[in-house]
């Protein structure tokens, strides 16, 4: 989406529609005030409205000071509409837009606070996670951008992962966390509850087999039948041992971590209808420095995995004797 054009009307009709309404409102107010100033009133004339038996409403004109105050508001409206946007797509002589002001404020904020964020960018995630100042900055970023889904304590909620345990759908190494925050994630569980996959009874059998793998209450007979269905229905994603595939975001079905709940009814619903979860991408919005701080904070919550050791380079071939090199 091009955010620069989100303030534009989808057609010229709506721009004209707003222009007409605004113009009629301002001009109509001025005309009404003018009539108030030219109308003739008879002293002591009443409108006929009576309250409390003797309280009558006189037909007197508006006081001049009040009427001129209204004229000033009309004049202010005209000047404002000349300078700022208010008439459809007309930008006004100042060319001011909310988007432009936002970009200016963000630029000023970047100039002020950017160096403070960038000072940690050259340090690795684990070093930043151990820095108290960086931890506090990361916590504030987390509360602003992440707590709405993962909770203020990062403990998650149904459908939103706990970031403090060691269960990671796409991996919990520093690099993977940065990748997740930057690019977002899309988790999809395909529905299996319709032909040619499985009918309702087969779905229930597979669910009971999966429940047996993680120590949940289950029906042994159903679990036995489900074990025969599992290789064809589920092993392609979750693996033949049901341990999942973190690299692809397929969860481990043998542990006690259930993102959407561990009840039989919920698991049957997920297998039958499928499930889709999305983690939005923050890389473009936050920038590398803030993503780095956020990743360090999340990694340091207690569940982060250590990065895989770099491959050891093969020893260089021994140098040949000088005389052999000359040959």
**Arithmetic mean of pLDDT, 107-128:** 92
**Which residue in 154, 283, 112, 272 sits closest to 207, CA to CA?**
272
Mind listing the pLDDT tens digit for each residue in 281-317? 999 999 999 999 999 999 999 888 888 776 665 565 5
Tell me the pLDDT tens digit for each residue of 53-79: 888 888 887 888 988 999 999 999 999
Determine the CATH number of domain 187-279: 1.10.760.10
The structure's pTM equals: 0.71
The enclosing H or E element of 74 equals: helix 64-83
C-alpha neighbours within 13 Å on the C-beta side of residue 192: 23
The whole-number pLDDT of residue 50 equals 86
> How many of the other CB atoms lie within 10 Å of CB of 204?
21
Q: Determine the number of helices (DSSP H) and then strands (DSSP E) in the chain.
A: 14, 4
Answer whether 317's CB lies under 8 Å from 169's CB.
Answer: no
pLDDT beyond 60 at 3: no
Work out the percent of the chain whose per-residue pLDDT is above 70: 91
Reported as a pLDDT band with limits 50, 70 and 90, residue 327 is very low
Q: What percent of the chain has pLDDT over 90?
A: 67
CATH number for the segment(s) 109-184+280-299 = 1.10.760.10
In whole angstroms, how large is the CA radius of gyration of the chain?
Answer: 34
Higher pLDDT, 134 or 58: 134
> Which burial class, exposed, middle or buried, applies to 151 when counting CB atoms under 10 A from its CB (0-12, 13-18, 19+)?
middle
Mean pLDDT, the chain, integer: 89
Q: What does the pLDDT read at residue 232?
A: 93
What pLDDT score does 316 carry?
56
pLDDT, average across residues 254-275: 94
Q: Cβ-count burial of 18 within 10 angstroms (0-12 exposed, 13-18 middle, 19+ buried)?
A: middle
């Amino acid at each position: 989406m091009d955010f620069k054009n989100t303030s534009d009307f989808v057609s010229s009709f709506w721009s004209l529609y707003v222009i007409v309404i605004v113009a009629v409102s301002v001009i109509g107010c001025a005309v009404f005030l003018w009539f108030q100033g030219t109308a003739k009133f008879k002293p002591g004339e009443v409108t006929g409205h009576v309250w409390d038996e003797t309280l009558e409403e006189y037909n007197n004109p508006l006081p001049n000071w009040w009427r001129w105050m209204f004229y000033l508001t009309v004049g202010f409206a005209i000047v404002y509409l000349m300078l700022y946007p208010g008439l459809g797509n007309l930008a006004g002589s100042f060319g001011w837009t909310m988007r432009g002001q936002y970009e200016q404020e963000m630029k000023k904020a970047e100039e002020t606070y950017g160096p403070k964020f960038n000072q940690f960018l050259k340090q690795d995630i684990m070093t930043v996670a151990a820095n108290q100042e960086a931890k506090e900055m990361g916590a504030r970023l987390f509360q602003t951008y992440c707590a709405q889904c993962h909770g203020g304590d990062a403990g998650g909620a149904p459908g939103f992962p706990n970031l403090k345990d060691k269960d990671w759908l796409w991996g919990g190494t520093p690099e993977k966390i940065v990748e997740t925050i930057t690019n977002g994630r899309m988790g999809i569980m395909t529905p299996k509850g319709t032909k040619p996959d499985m009918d309702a009874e087969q779905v229930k059998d597979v669910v009971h087999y999966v429940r047996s793998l993680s120590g949940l209450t289950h029906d042994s007979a159903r679990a036995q039948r489900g074990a025969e269905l599992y290789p064809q229905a589920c092993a392609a994603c979750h693996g033949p041992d049901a341990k999942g595939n973190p690299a692809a975001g397929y969860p481990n079905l043998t542990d006690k971590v259930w993102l959407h709940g561990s009840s039989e009814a919920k698991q049957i619903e997920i297998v039958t209808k499928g499930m889709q979860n999305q983690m939005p991408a923050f890389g473009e919005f936050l920038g590398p420095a803030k993503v780095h701080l956020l990743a360090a904070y999340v990694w340091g919550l207690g569940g982060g995995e250590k990065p895989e050791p770099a491959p050891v380079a093969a020893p260089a071939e021994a140098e040949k004797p000088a005389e052999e090199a000359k040959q």
